[in-house]
Structure 1
Amino acid sequence: MDTGDPTAAIAAFYDDFGRRWAHGTSPLYEDWALGIARDPELLARLAALPRAKQQPNLVFASARWEGAAMSPYHAVRPWLLEHWDRIVATGADRTVQTNEANRCATWLPPLSGIDGPIALLEVGAAAGLCLFPDRYSVEYATPAGVQKVDPPDGPSDVMLTCTVDDEASVPERYPDVVWRRGIDLDPIDVSDADAVDWLANLIWPGPDHDARVARLRTAAAIAASDPPEIVRGDLLERVTDVAAAAPPDATLVVFHSAVLLYLDSAERRRFADIMAGLGAATGRRVVWLSNETMGTLDEIDAQVPPGTPTDHRFVQTWDARPIALAGQHGALYETAAFRS
């Protein structure tokens, strides 16, 4: 029932963020989120912001950008109140964009199974760090031990790490990427130091995330040496024409991570329909790879076995068919639930 209190939904959102997403991976953000969920004054201030600017990732990153101490909520609360206008101003100018290169460790298993040259098109590409899966080394922790794979040109300065539940998931070869493009509402110039600093600032604090900062900066240096073209625009409006520019003799792979959650249900349906007809519309072979959370598309949720643990995991799909669970930051790749 609608209570008429606009802060109730915000409190529930922050409580869910703390208990379900930050719990066990970022103790500080868990504490901040649960603190705000029970703080009427902060909830009222959040309710005055546009909905897109209320999300914990943006508010917390903006607070850190402006100098908030990495202290428990009860200690940092007075600072938040005193500097609220600065936090809001930073949030108004910035967006949440996760560009986690380690997700490529979960893209390599399906990509390695595609024969011939591949054209990569990432929607929601940010700075495009995930457009270089063929240039990163990976250490896969398997039930039989650790297996390291390196790009054809030799070991990379970027080392990704991923735990897999099946040794067969470790790629035997790297994809032959001949073309790479991205689409984003607000593309990030990977050579812009301030932009890379903001990306690093968006990484959650906590021991599970500390290594991500160094990895992001090293991956950014690789991308800056061969900057990918990131097309500015709405993915619904641009994906077809950008896809049509890919080499016709290459398999076009359209992929994304945690992007569709920013669309409403009608927009998600429209995107799925576009992807279903993209091959016919562009006259080429298209593979649609997706890493998204449960609740994104009903027809995908229906294919996930009941009781499958999906917290901190994406459901990875190939042409809308679930094939694996992928850790939200690329640290896990599990296929057991979908093995026939």
Structure 2
Amino acid sequence: MTGGHFYSDTSIPDLYRWFATETASSPTWQQLSTWIAQTEDIWPLLDSLPGKKRQPNVFLATLRYLEGPTAPGADFLAWVQQHWPEIRAVVLARDTQTNEPGRCANLAPVLSSLGEKIALIEVGMSAGLCLFPDRYGYRWSLEDGSTVARGQDDVAVIECAVTGRSPVPYELPNVVWRAGIDLNPLNPSDPDDAKWLRSLVWPGQATRERRLASALQMAAAEDVVRVRGDAIEQLPSLIARAPQDATVVVMHTVVLAYFQRERRIEFEAMMADLPVRWLANEADRVLPGVAERIPSWDGPPSFVLSLDGQPLARTAPHGQFHHWL
């Protein structure tokens, strides 16, 4: 029986073969994912997880959260079998809520072009770290060899390589109001939520770990409206709460892949009708209306940044590059 979702419908070996290609920047996860895809003895355990809980990233983050082994082999399999009840409990309680501040390097220039005052609403906010594109420092490296530096380095400095012709200036937005929706909003000041977010960072990515720690500390002291619930149900009323003298921007980054297919279509139709600007950073096939407008791409794994349904750029998963279309 299929669940209408990639993680529900794909076999365990195919899921982990796919994830091995996604994690080329983390040899630890790439090697372990490749081993899992080839090791039948572990498949029944992973296949017993329900629906979207079969997502590789949730299981692997749980290993880090529980401080378990990450090297493939017989010892790893024995540890997983011995600790499976504990592993399963964490997987069922948690979700992939990767909160990557680096993605703000892709979002900030577009947001700065949308108005003098921005009321920013994030769908799938996690701990809300992407609601602060005005609080990070940036170094955008352009194709001509020049560098545009903006913002402060008191929280984090995000490096981003830029290719293609930019349609927007490299400035920071003036965000005057911040709000987010999530089925399970995380609290940046909660030690357990912070530990889970740190566990979602792939092994070997020390820069991301340091950036996340600094961003969590900053966000813990900031005022953000957090709404628990379904985005389609909660978004209209949240938009109504935004300041009337600001441009309301609804933003999401790598969120809609976790919606059922029919809910994605419903969300896309709703966004076309709401009186807001809509900034999306998603996989290229997640939004049908955007997907049909995207030029072909033979570069590294990327997302598509779009504004009001119009593709703007290819972006790196953690904000390390963007290529203007």
| 2:65–2:195 contact (8 Å) kept in structure 1 | no
**Shift, 1:183, TM fit:** 0.4
The reply on whether 1:317 has 2:306 as its aligned counterpart is: yes
SS at match of 1:135: coil
Question: 1:282 is matched with which residue?
Answer: none
**Shift, 1:111, TM fit:** 1.0
SS at match of 1:116: coil
Structure 1 residues 261-319: Cα deviation after superposition (integer angstroms, max 9, x where no partner): 0112210011011101111xxxxxx110000002212221111123x136421111010
The reply on whether 1:185 has 2:174 as its aligned counterpart is: no
TM-score after normalising by structure 2: 0.92
The reply on whether 1:267 has 2:263 as its aligned counterpart is: yes
The reply on whether 1:226 has 2:226 as its aligned counterpart is: no
Distance, in Å, in 2 between the alignment partners of 1:186 and 1:212 is 23
Distance, in Å, in 2 between the alignment partners of 1:41 and 1:227 is 48
**Shift, 1:117, TM fit:** 0.8
Structure 1 residues 242-274: Cα deviation after superposition (integer angstroms, max 9, x where no partner): 111111221111010111101122100110111
TM-score after normalising by structure 1: 0.88
Gapped regions of structure 2 (runs ≥ 5): 3-7
**Shift, 1:107, TM fit:** 0.3
Distance, in Å, in 1 between the alignment partners of 2:55 and 2:153 is 38
SS at match of 2:99: coil
Structure-2 change in CA distance of 1:172 and 1:55 (3 Å)? closer
Q: For residue 9 of structure 1, what is the amino acid of its counterpart?
A: S
SS at match of 2:11: helix
The reply on whether 1:288 has 2:284 as its aligned counterpart is: no
Distance, in Å, in 1 between the alignment partners of 2:111 and 2:298 is 24
Structure-2 change in CA distance of 1:310 and 1:261 (3 Å)? farther
1:158-169 alignment runs, 5 A limit = 158-166=156-164, 168=166
| 1:294–1:310 contact (8 Å) kept in structure 2 | no
Of 2, 9, 31, the residue aligned with 2:11 is 9
SS at match of 1:149: strand
The reply on whether 1:257 has 2:253 as its aligned counterpart is: yes
**Shift, 1:214, TM fit:** 0.8
| 1:28–1:72 contact (8 Å) kept in structure 2 | no
**Shift, 1:225, TM fit:** 1.7
Identical positions, percent = 36
Structure-2 change in CA distance of 1:8 and 1:330 (3 Å)? closer
Deviates more, 1:77-86 or 1:55-64: 77-86
**Shift, 1:72, TM fit:** 3.4
Distance, in Å, in 1 between the alignment partners of 2:89 and 2:170 is 48
**Shift, 1:145, TM fit:** 2.9
Of 299, 304, 309, the residue aligned with 2:289 is 299
**Shift, 1:235, TM fit:** 0.7
Distance, in Å, in 2 between the alignment partners of 1:33 and 1:234 is 32
| 1:289–1:318 contact (8 Å) kept in structure 2 | yes
SS at match of 1:186: coil
Residue correspondences, number: 319
Distance, in Å, in 2 between the alignment partners of 1:73 and 1:164 is 40
Question: 1:100 is matched with which residue?
Answer: 100
Question: 2:5 is matched with which residue?
Answer: none
SS at match of 2:186: coil
Q: For residue 188 of structure 1, what is the amino acid of its counterpart?
A: L
Gapped regions of structure 1 (runs ≥ 5): 280-285
